[in-house]
Structure 1
């Protein structure tokens, strides 16, 4: 049961005195209950008819957050999953902030469950205790004599639906620390039969994504953008555009960032925009091509690193490696990558009757656009409202430090008379050619091995384009000049590696850079796990045994990483493949979660590789929704493998060469024959699952290809560097 995402409708219903029980946070930060939405910002809304709604503070982009947070509430109250729906929280960072992001409200970094696990359980538990207390008072019994199961209050010879006690419960004081259910009482959390709440609506087309929104009288806005980063529009000729039926007008955006075209519909906006003749000032534009960018990264790897990441003695590490009887070394290059979510970027802005502004958006980071719109419209924050809607994917693209597309929409609206809503639409070509990208990176690694095959030194240089520097997140993420997102997964590896030294050098950005599904782990895991495989081969040891030797269990992280490594190898039948098959393995920790994957392939690089099976083992703490976890592992594996198989963004004189899926091809359903996921049973707090499946996928495939044909792939994508796929 998924409720329509209409914030104004929810607040109207929630604000009716006596009509509902709301559990949420008061302005003083205390957990509270009320019947009036003006008194608190709720996490749980229970209508007078007993309808329960989870108010989800992390938006839904396909990763299952709405189902996960609803599960926590349903579990603690005592409901079936068909007895709860969800709605998205309003933009209010004070109440709905992501604790792991500081003062920001937002979804990302696979933090939704880690951030909200206790908070949403406490809200559900408080609702249960209030309902039971109200029922006990009406029936003249002790609350301990009653239970709430499947929405029914029972005990002491009585039974009634929870809705009968909503009005009375709303007058009670919420418990400061409600009793949370013991895991032995769980009926929904960890239940593999629990299915997503949004599947039916998405399947039958009734679910509303931001792109589906059509307001009365709205105009469509599309923007003619420069091909090169830094170019500016100085003038335009719309003579041809005026011949397009439905064209309204055009205007140059502030600071010349582009030319916005207004039209009655999307098709007219596209045709009119394409008909514009725009004059661009390219004096400050990016003019480098991909080969120059790669050369700069490689030159940075040749030089002494700008930053000593882990504070170790680089000279001592090099001396140890130089003295080793066996030295393994490799240089890696990772190209720019686009996010390419299935639903292109879009949002709609309208004026409200009270003189405010309402933004309709699949909004991943509400705080950023909320603040930006308040500045653009010169309004107090309370006059800006955000209606968060479903989003058709993101992979990080909808959460930019600059609130880029929301700001564009606001500027497009500002330049009108504000009498009509404005819906900004990006085409897929817009996003692939003019959006944000996973930055390009290079790695150079040298590993020294003893005669017995033990690592005696590991020197690891990383060079690439910083994501965080120059953004609002720099103060949080950048320490001593090091952007942690550039080195995460390498410099903080759980492996026990003697004499490890990590160095970093930033290179100049050629495009706007942004976190991409799993951020820095997408390249560090590849370099680390391919090198571990190469070292194992040079040592004459089995790749699994070699890794386990460097995960002795001295720390909890090592024990958990060894656990998934062992489980994946066991479930994949490591070393027992039939003739004509090869296997590769990789293991990695990211976002607090441990994932090991085994790729099993047939064929070889020259004649064609076919991925027969991916076996995944994941330790993400308490598995709230196993069905969602499996789906996320499958999606993350496909995302990681699809991009390394054949995707890259290249530049010619600063302009992106690729434009759409024909030349930036996503994973095809036939590319992987089977994926099998095994979830480690755990009592640890839950951690992320949206991203951690991506980092080990590519190196597992690379290691399987190396086992099949002795080809080590150090440059990506694979199909441009010696690998054909069947």
Structure 2
């Protein structure tokens, strides 16, 4: 359920669903910016932020867009082609993994171009860091809830430029003033004479005209597409099974590989007895690498049976005895040190000394796996001097780099075909699976699809790091915070993923939210202490830094409210002065959730406020807790101010999905180690929220004139603290560790 709020609640007007097959590949002939090539049509190149310079030539095969950059010419980041049939092809710089960008980004283009959304088809962009650079992420990546923020202006500008030139072309042919012409429904109209020319009929003329340097964009009150709740364009092919994900790829004469990794990170293969495995019908080969064994078969079942028959002796390495507690002990020791200062406002020591009282708390959060529904996979065909790759990745250029490193094939001889992703959540921001698959494929004659079983996927993920936070708060005589001293201890993802961004010992992602608190707190000092979890690999998990930080901040704010004998909502309202948008979503959510009304015994409500990804959210969760410590989430009310909304239906869906993902993580999510080995294997012991457990979720959208914020991750980030606070309201137990259910069951009094 979704509602729009702007003090009033205007009703949404559902649009008729429009559909298009987003996997369609369109053959584009060579062309230059607004210049007709051999195939006929207008190719519009446009530059996204931080890009500029002259356009480049482009071509598309039946499988993938292949953009060729001439020597000495700066290539823009994306292209739009209008063919002589009037069809618009958008070469998509982002990947679709369920977040809805294959609908929302074309909506931006179609709005200004004045074409029906159904007339826009999509082709995946090739790996090219120069063309498709996202300045918000520092590369050709999809993640960080940046896709709409990245495309908001450039895509609209691209459509407006094309529309302006097409109108000029029609006016020139008719010998009339362009101001007397109007673009509509993929055509240019001249009302005075009733004449009409379609875009397809105009592209040849348009290609001869100069490109305007400045164009006027529509005002929001003129939008016909943007802001409407449109059905997802990829919904139909996904629903009827025609959509192609990486794992669906089938290549003639392809073999199948199942991976068996060393169960201890950093360990190696000591010896392999594959005699029984090779006797399994359909097994054709066994590939032994330093830390991995792969069984190759004529089909997946043969490879899987062969993998189960392997007798492998592992050299565990230095972490063969590690247990989870060791890692938290490491972080607690590290916390005794002074960290790198990420933010300092005022004299923290003096402010704490002068405070009427102080309060200190420590928080622990575990490793989390991504567990996307589509397990990681990659298909490759490595030849003597070239390589083809089929996969679904959030980082296509990095994937190509990893193939080059693993195979020795030159980057310009590697062709990557990207596909829809069956869930990413940050897992496919990594290219480790592509590298490992390439190492295997290099030793196989012909194409091979390398698949990680669910167990291998869960036990060899690149995990959301475990974290340890220590916070000391100075309070005034009314219990309001006047000083905030916060130490964050944990792995630095940025130090590995983007070393140039890790500066002065600070991981800006690890301290995000904490360095920009929405509350009025005069004196603050935020420190970061990097402590890597031995050999356990760490990466981003849906919500990135704000997920873990919001749990800490909003859990502590709630605890301060209770200590001050104040209602948690009213307490927040009293200290949210600097951020009116945060105060607004809090007010809306509290009203819609009937905050303060009575609940049955054993039930409670919890609240959480968050400002991250350019968006403002408030979550209110309603839970019940039984005597055994099991938590049932009954209702979640969410108020969202994400600026101007491109597709409200997508925003609502993303909030619902994010909330469900976040509930799973907060209640049960945990990766643990014993003897250096991950103990979880599959959904039986890496627990997911089940469909019958899904709460009623109400999403209330704030109508806003602000630029769009991100929406893919905020729902996941904000829900954890709301749940913890609701559990306190239901039980009186203040939980400072995750997962919540485990803490309730193992710590009957407090945790």
Could you state the TM-score of these two structures normalised by the residue count of structure 2? Answer: 0.89
Structure 1 residues 443-483: Cα deviation after superposition (integer angstroms, max 9, x where no partner): 222323222222233222222222222x240211x221121
Contact 2:367 2:672 in 1 (8 A): yes
2:341 aligns with 308
2:651 aligns with 629
Comparing 648-657 with 271-280, which one deviates more in the overlay? 271-280
Change (3 A) 1:500 1:153: same
Secondary structure of 2:81 counterpart = strand
Q: Trace 1:538-577 onto structure 2 (pairs within 5 A).
A: 538-553=563-578, 558-577=579-598
- Give the deviation of 1:512 after TM superposition: 0.5
Secondary structure of 1:678 counterpart = strand
Contact 2:629 2:744 in 1 (8 A): no
2:52 aligns with 29
Comparing 574-583 with 286-295, which one deviates more in the overlay? 574-583
Give the whole-Å Cα distance in 2 for the aligned partners of 1:467 and 1:34.
37
Give the whole-Å Cα distance in 2 for the aligned partners of 1:306 and 1:26.
41
1:416 aligns with 444
Give the whole-Å Cα distance in 2 for the aligned partners of 1:542 and 1:687.
30
2:554 aligns with 529
- Give the deviation of 1:374 after TM superposition: 3.3
Structure 1 residues 560-610: Cα deviation after superposition (integer angstroms, max 9, x where no partner): 222222222222222234555532110111222111111123456657543
1:405 aligns with 433
Give the whole-Å Cα distance in 2 for the aligned partners of 1:547 and 1:26.
42
Matching of residue 444 in structure 1 with residue 462 in structure 2:
no
Matching of residue 485 in structure 1 with residue 502 in structure 2:
no
Give the whole-Å Cα distance in 2 for the aligned partners of 1:683 and 1:550.
25
1:89 aligns with 125
Give the whole-Å Cα distance in 2 for the aligned partners of 1:568 and 1:516.
26
- Give the deviation of 1:695 after TM superposition: 1.6
Contact 2:83 2:200 in 1 (8 A): yes
Secondary structure of 1:610 counterpart = strand
Structure 1 residues 510-556: Cα deviation after superposition (integer angstroms, max 9, x where no partner): 41100111122222111100110111111122212222222213xxx
Give the whole-Å Cα distance in 1 for the aligned partners of 2:54 and 2:234.
28
Contact 1:24 1:31 in 2 (8 A): no
Q: Could you tell me which of 200, 203, 214 is aligned with 1:177?
A: 214
Give the whole-Å Cα distance in 1 for the aligned partners of 2:450 and 2:227.
41
Q: Could you tell me which of 163, 171, 178 is aligned with 1:128?
A: 163
2:301 aligns with 267
2:198 aligns with 161
Contact 1:35 1:170 in 2 (8 A): no
Give the whole-Å Cα distance in 2 for the aligned partners of 1:369 and 1:112.
20
Give the whole-Å Cα distance in 2 for the aligned partners of 1:652 and 1:608.
25
Give the whole-Å Cα distance in 1 for the aligned partners of 2:282 and 2:224.
55
What do you get for the CA RMSD once the two structures are aligned?
A: 2.5
Change (3 A) 1:36 1:460: closer
- Give the deviation of 1:21 after TM superposition: 2.0
Q: Trace 1:292-331 onto structure 2 (pairs within 5 A).
A: 292-301=326-335, 303-311=336-344, 317=348, 320-321=351-352, 324-331=355-362
Q: Could you tell me which of 417, 427, 436 is aligned with 1:387?
A: 417
- Give the deviation of 1:71 after TM superposition: 0.5
Give the whole-Å Cα distance in 2 for the aligned partners of 1:701 and 1:29.
46
1:584 aligns with 606
Secondary structure of 1:703 counterpart = helix
Q: Could you tell me which of 682, 687, 708 is aligned with 1:660?
A: 682
Secondary structure of 1:310 counterpart = strand
- Give the deviation of 1:178 after TM superposition: 3.0
Secondary structure of 1:236 counterpart = strand
- Give the deviation of 1:261 after TM superposition: 2.0
Secondary structure of 2:493 counterpart = coil
Secondary structure of 2:428 counterpart = coil
Give the whole-Å Cα distance in 2 for the aligned partners of 1:380 and 1:169.
39
Change (3 A) 1:174 1:35: farther
Matching of residue 365 in structure 1 with residue 395 in structure 2:
yes
1:5 aligns with 23
Structure 1 residues 649-682: Cα deviation after superposition (integer angstroms, max 9, x where no partner): 1000110000000000111123232111112222
Give the whole-Å Cα distance in 2 for the aligned partners of 1:709 and 1:36.
63
Secondary structure of 1:233 counterpart = strand
Secondary structure of 1:693 counterpart = helix
Secondary structure of 2:580 counterpart = helix
Contact 1:54 1:84 in 2 (8 A): yes
Structure 1 residues 179-207: Cα deviation after superposition (integer angstroms, max 9, x where no partner): 32222210111112x11110011111111
Give the whole-Å Cα distance in 2 for the aligned partners of 1:350 and 1:571.
55
- Give the deviation of 1:437 after TM superposition: 0.4
Contact 2:382 2:441 in 1 (8 A): no
Comparing 135-144 with 13-22, which one deviates more in the overlay? 13-22
Count of aligned positions: 705
Contact 1:338 1:649 in 2 (8 A): yes
Contact 1:5 1:388 in 2 (8 A): no
Change (3 A) 1:352 1:237: closer
- Give the deviation of 1:379 after TM superposition: 4.2
Structure 1 residues 277-302: Cα deviation after superposition (integer angstroms, max 9, x where no partner): 2232223445310122222223333x
Matching of residue 642 in structure 1 with residue 660 in structure 2:
no
- Give the deviation of 1:62 after TM superposition: 0.4
Contact 1:252 1:260 in 2 (8 A): yes
Give the whole-Å Cα distance in 2 for the aligned partners of 1:305 and 1:708.
37
Q: Could you tell me which of 222, 239, 244 is aligned with 2:275?
A: 239
Give the whole-Å Cα distance in 2 for the aligned partners of 1:363 and 1:11.
24
Contact 1:327 1:446 in 2 (8 A): yes
Give the whole-Å Cα distance in 2 for the aligned partners of 1:371 and 1:213.
21
Give the whole-Å Cα distance in 1 for the aligned partners of 2:413 and 2:37.
22
Contact 1:518 1:590 in 2 (8 A): no
- Give the deviation of 1:404 after TM superposition: 0.5
- Give the deviation of 1:699 after TM superposition: 0.6
Give the whole-Å Cα distance in 2 for the aligned partners of 1:186 and 1:658.
49
Contact 1:90 1:386 in 2 (8 A): yes
Contact 2:29 2:38 in 1 (8 A): no
Contact 2:46 2:158 in 1 (8 A): no
Give the whole-Å Cα distance in 2 for the aligned partners of 1:35 and 1:263.
39
Contact 1:35 1:171 in 2 (8 A): no
Give the whole-Å Cα distance in 2 for the aligned partners of 1:457 and 1:157.
70
- Give the deviation of 1:331 after TM superposition: 1.9
Contact 2:30 2:39 in 1 (8 A): no
1:77 aligns with 113
- Give the deviation of 1:26 after TM superposition: 8.6
Q: Trace 1:47-86 onto structure 2 (pairs within 5 A).
A: 47-86=83-122
Change (3 A) 1:426 1:609: closer
Q: Could you tell me which of 379, 387, 396 is aligned with 1:348?
A: 379
Give the whole-Å Cα distance in 1 for the aligned partners of 2:375 and 2:586.
37
Give the whole-Å Cα distance in 2 for the aligned partners of 1:36 and 1:464.
45
Give the whole-Å Cα distance in 2 for the aligned partners of 1:572 and 1:275.
55
Change (3 A) 1:602 1:343: same
Matching of residue 110 in structure 1 with residue 145 in structure 2:
yes
